Amino acid sequence: MPRGYNPNAARGCKIRAFMKTLIFQWACCMAMAWLPGAVMAEKADRSKPMHIEADALRYDDNQQTSVFNGRVVLSKGTMLIRGAYLEARQDPQGNQFGLIKAEAGKLAYFRQKRESRPGGPDEFIEGEAEVIEYDGKADTVRFLQRAQLRRLVGTTLQDEMSGAVIVYDNTSSVLTVDGGPAKSATRVRAMLTPRVDESRSALPAPGPAASVPALRRSATLGGEKK
């Protein structure tokens, strides 16, 4: 054991680092879930059929799985995923699942429209990763390895984050971001644009300020003598 080594201090540093990671992940979750005006992903997408294009297909009827290779494009309602490899399957209840992998050295791509308020601008979630997993039963999308996720209003970037693993929950519009193991060079990074509170912006402008009496000079330190 090195001279001057304090096991209690070392253990305390590890605990603080672990708590820091947990707090940051929780903050990212809360930021996406509670920011004013947050909207959900398109609810109708979950019940839409899955359409797939690719260069080659191998179908296993016993396992109810389909493996697509080469320039894969998956669409399901407003959801769009592109990659080099896709393994798709369906459970007896009709829930659909997809595992998409990118070509070596590249990233698979994901994009989905979010439900907008009547008359409001269109919002989209898009991201990339080496592997993207879609779970139709839980209605979640997982981005694995070199994961990136962005929220856009129209074509304007609003929020952006990256990490080793990103899990996006379509139902609750909550996401979690993991920076990877402590020794990993991958760290969580986020850019969050402040939301405009429309109710505050609609308040009437304040009226003119009341006139303030002018100060008068006093010949004595305590003011005028009574």
How confident is the model over 56-81, as pLDDT tens digits?
A: 999 988 877 899 999 999 998 999 99
Three-state SS string over 13-71 comes to HHHHHHHHHHHHHHHHHHHHHHCCCCCCECHHHHHCCCEEECCEEEEECCCCEEEEEEE
- pTM for the model stands at 0.67
Q: Which domains does the chain have, with CATH numbers?
A: 11-195 (2.60.450.10)
pLDDT digits (tens, 9 = 90+) for 80-122: 999 999 999 988 888 889 999 999 999 999 999 987 666 677 8
